[in-house]
Chains A and B, each alone.
Chain A
Amino acid sequence: MLLCEQQTPRGLNQLPRKKTEMELAVNITLLLMLCATVFAVVKLQSLFAIVMLFGIYSLLSAMIFVALDAVDVAFTEAAVGAGISTVLMLATLVTTGRWKKKPERSGLLPLFVVTITGAALVWGTLDMPEYGNPANPAHHHVADRYIAESPTEIGIPNMVTSVLASYRGFDTLGEVIVVFTALVGVLSLLQVRRPRTFARKQDNRPDTHRRRPYPVLQVVALIMMPFIIVFALYVQFHGDFGPGGGFQAGVIFAVAFILYTLTYGLDDSLALTPLPALKILAAGGVIIYGGTGVVSMLLGGNFLDYNVLAANPVSGQHIGIIVIELGVGITVASVLITVFYAFVTRAERNRAGEKQVDLPNKAD
């Protein structure tokens, strides 16, 4: 999966790889499968099935990105789109119910609007430069300079990381702050609490809130967790050399703890990763990133100019990229874990509320 050869810069004098028939067949198959998924999403009534289909849609998109040689994007799409989003949407479904409501009005007007918009978009693409042509302006605006200078200026094999973390360091800082703001938004709407507290308020049966033990799943989750964390660290620190980096690593790291929450319950999970620590880490990652910029300013460079971080500009770039990727990873992981906890808290609270209503019926 991790092919470093693909990341080596292809010089402009080399001709782009010839598209084979096989590749075309793969692309057409994947796009047809995407279409089939979309039609199924529109047709189905069960939101649960729709969420699973969204996961499949993301996985198919990730495969298309791999076919386009955009391995880093594919990695992110698979981790975020197919992994975390599906889990978060499932957590939402627990509170909203799993069947689509019947639409009150006819769908003709929306269909009309969508058709017109879609046709306009297709018409708009006619003006776009030819797909995949190496002479397109998008490939020559700044990309030429990045491709020509990155090996000597930054000196890491994965050019995607050098663009993301160094040339476009401001954009990535903005992305990390967006992730952090999402956490602030979620926490201002939903709170994270131990389910135990609801159960105690609801009634005096001490064990109703406890999840029933899942021995098989718990053992499997415990076996998997170290491997997931090691893989996350590998993705984190190997981002300079192959596909990966802070965003993907953070998501994979969060998945280990989400797996733990799913099998052991929120109580045990909050004991493992206390909420105050998560909040500090989420902010700390942003501070590490921004602080690197401030340090480079104090050393006499521009904001996020890593050249001044070491005596040699290239090793300065290496240090800067490693540090800010670490900040990204820490923020993404702790934000995703906390958002998941917030969703689960809501679901558990609803469940504790429902239990009280449901139990008399279940007794007979």
Chain B
Amino acid sequence: MQIAVDLVSWLFLSMGMFLGLTGAYGILKFPDFYTRVHAASISDTLCTACFVIGLALQSGFNLVTAKLFMILILLWLTGPAASHALVRAANTAGLKPVTEKKD
């Protein structure tokens, strides 16, 4: 039983790590601001969710789990709002997305 829980937990944790790394790679590699925010917001939401679920499985069912999920709710509320604010500010400032492929 413990092994099964550990296995699932590590599955979520490695999934979170993978998503975090792809998010970081996207921030560096994507062509313009909007796509980069898109990459970063993946780490904000799905990556943190994977981490929290993985850690919750590690901690078992206790107060720590409740706190972890409260942190997750906070991050789910603020992360996308922050991305939204960034994109909206860029749009208001007149930043145009790159629509054509550079040679």
Asked if A220 is at the interface of the complex by the 8 Å CB criterion, the answer is yes
- Produce 1/0 per residue, B65-98, CB < 8 A to A: 0000000000001100100110010000000000
Q: How many A-B residue pairs have CB under 8 A?
A: 14
- Which secondary structure characterizes the binding site on chain A? helix
CA of A140 to CA of B15, assembled, Å: 50
Taken together as a complex, chains A and B put the C-alpha atoms of A291 and B61 apart, in Å, by 49
Interface string of A216-247 (1 = CB under 8 A from B): 11001001100000000000000000000000
Min C-beta distance of A190 to chain B, whole Å:
24
Q: Is A112 part of the contact surface with B, judged by Cβ < 8 Å? A: no
Say whether B77 contacts A220, CB under 8 Å: yes
Pair B77/A217 contact, Cβ less than 8 Å: no
Counting contact residues on chain A (CB < 8 A from B), the size range is: under 10
Interface size, chain B (Cβ < 8 Å): 6
Q: Are B88 and A220 in touch, CB under 8 angstroms?
A: no
Whether the Cβ atoms of B77 and A214 lie closer than 8 Å is no
| Cross-chain contact A217 with B84 (CB below 8 angstroms) | yes
Q: Is the beta-carbon distance between A223 and B84 smaller than 8 angstroms?
A: no
By a CB distance below 8 angstroms, the chain A residues around B85 are: 214, 217
Contact assessment for B77 and A216 in the assembled complex, using a CB-CB cutoff below 8 Å: no
Q: How far is the CB of A322 from chain B (nearest CB, A)?
A: 27
Q: Is the CB of A224 within 8 A of B84?
A: no
The interface of chain B, by Cβ under 8 A from chain A, is 77-78, 81, 84-85, 88
Nearest 4 pairs of A and B residues by beta carbon? A220-B81, A216-B84, A217-B85, A220-B77
Give the interface of A toward B (CB within 8 A).
214, 216-217, 220, 223-224
Cβ contacts A to B, 14 pairs, < 8 Å? A214-B85, A214-B88, A216-B81, A216-B84, A217-B81, A217-B84, A217-B85, A217-B88, A220-B77, A220-B78, A220-B81, A223-B77, A224-B77, A224-B78
